[in-house]
Amino acid sequence: MNPASTGSDTGSAAPRGGLDRIELRGLRARGRHGVLPAERELGQEFVVDVSLGLDTAPAAADDDLSRTVDYGSLADRLVAVVEGDPVNLIETLAERLAAVCLQDAVVAEAEVTVHKPSAPVPHPFADVAVRIRRSRP
């Protein structure tokens, strides 16, 4: 049967209108990032959101995890970065996290937001965050 006649598309072409999205939101990990000595010494919680752009049709057609992103494994790798070597800027941390997301060959683009809810801001605030979007060349 022709897939066009059923209205379904199980080919490997990207879906009409752009890429599909896989999102992982609110991932929490403790890190020692920041420019102040207390941030490095005491550490603090960071919250990470990622949105991955990819074509999920091949994985869906075959019901095959190996053809998409294993978000459990991705979460482990992202937490390892947050808990790993400290950096001064959350901009740098966001770059490192985006690079991890793009290690998956099926990921065409990654949007990463790093929230620093306990940032050393001397005024009441809800959140400090950096959001970046990176894609394959």
Catalytic center residues: 116
d(CA 23, CA 9): 22
d(CA 47, CA 27): 5
Q: Are strands 129-135 and 20-31 parallel, antiparallel or unpaired?
A: unpaired
User: Which residues share a beta bridge with 129?
Assistant: 115
Place of tokens 């920041």: 34
Tokens at residue 78, please?
A: 């992202």
Tokens at residue 29, please?
A: 């990990």
**Cα angle 113, 119, 125; round to 5:** 90
